[in-house]
């Protein structure tokens, strides 16, 4: 289900990257849904969006770099999970943790604290992992993967 949702999302994104293709769909939306007093602003926003959109070639490197960084972060978290006796296969782990990361983006808590842990506890419970191990792993990984770089960045910002 998640893979299908991701594929549909990517198809929609790739569809709207092309200005000519998206113009047809947005023309219908523009005529049917946009009130008359906002039509000029909508037209201006449409053109400025596509004017500022970088080419796919320029986005390839940042996309690849982001993918590598996320894989490294999740791999670090995998080894940390091993330290907390969470023994599930890597390919399951590398699927579960990004799902919890996406769930933590739901804006109901500060920084996703609590939602990420609840998602991890629920998803890891399928493998019989105790909630206390998952919670400990989640908090420690948050401190290591996010806290240490944040602290180093703060110290570095004071020196400038």
- Position of tokens 């604290």? 113
Residue-wise pLDDT tens digits, 36-58: 787 788 778 777 877 777 777 88
pLDDT tops 70 at residue 114: yes
Element holding 3 (H helix, E strand):
helix 2-17
Q: Which of 16, 37, 13, 35 minimizes the C-alpha distance to 25?
A: 16
Residue-wise pLDDT tens digits, 92-105: 999 899 989 888 88
pTM, rounded to two decimals: 0.66
Q: How far is CA 86 from CA 28, 69, 79, 103, 125, in A?
A: 52, 23, 9, 21, 11
61's CB contacts (< 8 A; 6+ apart) are: none
Q: Which of 54, 57, 59, 46 minimizes the C-alpha distance to 19?
A: 46
Q: Note every long-range contact of 77-80, with CB atoms under 8 Å and residues 24 or more positions apart, other chains counting.
A: 77/137, 77/141, 77/145, 80/137, 80/140, 80/141, 80/144
């Amino acid at each position: 289900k998640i893979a299908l949702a991701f594929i549909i999302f990517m198809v929609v994104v790739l569809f709207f990257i092309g200005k000519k293709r998206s113009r047809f769909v947005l023309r219908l939306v523009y005529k049917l849904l946009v009130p008359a007093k906002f039509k000029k602003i909508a037209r201006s926003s449409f053109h400025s969006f596509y004017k500022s959109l970088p080419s796919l070639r320029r986005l390839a490197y940042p996309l690849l770099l982001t993918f590598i960084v996320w894989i490294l972060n999740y791999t670090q978290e995998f080894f940390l999970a091993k330290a907390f006796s969470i023994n599930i296969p890597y390919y399951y782990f590398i699927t579960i943790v990004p799902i919890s990361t996406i769930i933590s983006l739901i804006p109901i808590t500060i920084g996703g604290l609590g939602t990420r842990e609840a998602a991890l506890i629920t998803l890891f419970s399928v493998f019989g992992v105790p909630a206390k191990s998952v919670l400990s792993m989640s908090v420690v990984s948050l401190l290591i993967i996010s806290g240490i770089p944040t602290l180093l960045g703060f110290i570095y910002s004071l020196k400038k």
